[in-house]
Amino acid sequence: MEIAKGVHAQERRDKHKIYSVHEPRVACIAKGKARKRYEFGAKVSVTATSRGGWFVGAMAMQGNPYDGHTLATTLAQVEHLARPPQHAFVDRGYRGHGYEGPVQVHVDRGRRGKLAVRLWRWMKRRAAIEPGIGHLKQKHRMDRCRLWGPDGDAFNAIASAAGMNFRKLLAHAVVFIIFYCAWRKSRVENGCLWFTRAHL
């Protein structure tokens, strides 16, 4: 009844509106795209490595917070789960983040400016996270969370990122097994198969 009363009392231009009866905490997130101007759900902050694109952080944010204000919490999660990074490359949505910590934050401004050549290469590499986010949404069920509440959103974000990491790990394992089997076959055909004993 409280949700029904809130839906009846809210106006069109109210900020904290109820968009879903099943999930009243759903927020309206402006995307700024012509095809899809708005999305309804929870904002997820995702962190990936520059080499390999492995996801080392995924955190669901309730409401619609400013991207820059989520940077400190996201970097704290990365430091807790993986090795602390030295540099963080973010898009323009993180301008005015106010982060003060050991990690050097570089905001993409569309041009090199005073950024060193080595760091500018990593900045251009930052765009590689966008296809990864698309895979998280389409193939790993991050686009629609079927779990209830803030805890469900947080678990769904972490499970989606972990699932994509496991999928990439299995792909690397399959390639290694194929090359290893081909190498063993070539050694057997040449009559040069060597047996070794390892003491563990």
pLDDT tens per residue, range 28-87: 777 767 677 777 878 888 888 888 888 888 888 887 788 778 888 888 888 888 788 888
At 117-153, the pLDDT tens digits run 777 777 777 777 888 888 888 888 787 777 877 888 8
CA Rg value for the chain: 23
Q: Name the packing angle between helices 149-189 and 129-139 (round to 10°).
A: 110
Mean pLDDT score of the chain: 79
Number of Cβ within 10 Å of residue 100's Cβ equals 8
Structure tokens at 46: 């995702």
Phi, psi of 60 (to 5 degrees): -85, 130
- Whether the per-residue pLDDT at 113 is higher than 50: the answer is yes
In angstroms, the CA 133 to CA 135 distance is 5
* Mean pLDDT within 156-181: 87
199: confidence class by pLDDT, cuts 50, 70, 90? very low
Angstrom distance (rounded) from CA 58 to CA 77: 8
